[in-house]
Amino acid sequence: MDQFLCTIGEIGIVPVVRIERAEDALDLGRALLSGDLPIVEIAFRTAAAEQAIRSLASGLPDLLVGAGTVLDLDQVKRAFDAGAKFIVSPGFLPKVVDYCTTNNIPVIPGICTPTEIEMALERKLEVVKFFPAGASGGLEYLKAIAAPFGALQFIPTGGVDAANLREYLSFPRIHAVGGTWIARDTTIAAGRFDEITRLAREAVGLTLDFTLAHLGINERSAESAMALAKRAAELFLFPVKDGASSLFTGAAFEIMKSPYLGDHGHIAISTSSIQRAIAFLRRKGVAVKQETAREREGRLTTIYLDIEIGGFAVHLLQR
């Protein structure tokens, strides 16, 4: 898959923005970056769109900038020349799609029917936009039309917001979601960029859905681990489950039978998407210990980070 399409999937959310004044573009981009959301799709629906893309692409290199609502070849060329890294159209426009694929420009055309999905597969596309998602029947409709078509990934847009974001992302065929609620044109025009930062950070939090899963405690031996597990069970009425290298007391404590990573033990953080969590933390400068990765049925389920918090190692856990 194209590098920029992969990045969209790692982020998981695409703010779709209509901007009226190009001079607001950099403030908008900084607000999104401050909210840990390094991506924006500028809708080609205003006279300011082209210059806004140009300003963002040249002024904020850490922001992935795309052009949306692209309806013809002239707009494709103008958007790409301005610095857009991907093109999004509301429907399936064969001339636009064919031009982009011929010229190695990442393109995400809109689909709403099985016939349009077949058109995308015929052109060997891997990601399409599902639009308008809400008005077309939402997630249940998408599941129905996606079922016969293999591994094609979708970006639902239209009717997606903070209330249903998690529901959409729970479907494995969702590459990302697109929405206007994070940076509305009225919010931009009013200069409320702090509100955009707040909504961006909230959306990222919903996408990753980090939760404390359990606390791991290093013990010196199997005997001392069992003694501690029994004491915790006595105090909190948790059941004890014995395993090969550790004991679980309820879901709260994992007691290691011999010291493992971390001076004191480890903190397990669960997430709805371990791959997006890794990408998010990488942007924060936090690496992973690849040798600690564990998989189940070909999917990554747990991996340790290359940091400690208060003497505790930290690992991610796929929920």
Q: Residues with catalytic annotation? A: 41, 129
Strand, coil or helix: 130: strand
Strand, coil or helix: 120: helix
**Residue 237: CA count within 13 A, CB half-sphere:** 0
Q: Looking at 104-153, list the stretches that DSSP marks H as alpha helix, in order from N- to C-terminal side.
A: 114-122, 138-146
User: Which one-letter DSSP state was computed for residue 210?
Assistant: -
Helices (H) and strands (E) in the chain, counts: 12, 17
Phi-psi region of 138 (alpha: psi -120 to 50; beta: other; left: phi over 0): left
- The DSSP string of 45-91 is TSTTHHHHHHHHHHH-TTSEEEEES--SHHHHHHHHHHT-S-EE-SS
Q: Give the DSSP H/E element, type plus range, for residue 4.
A: helix 3-11
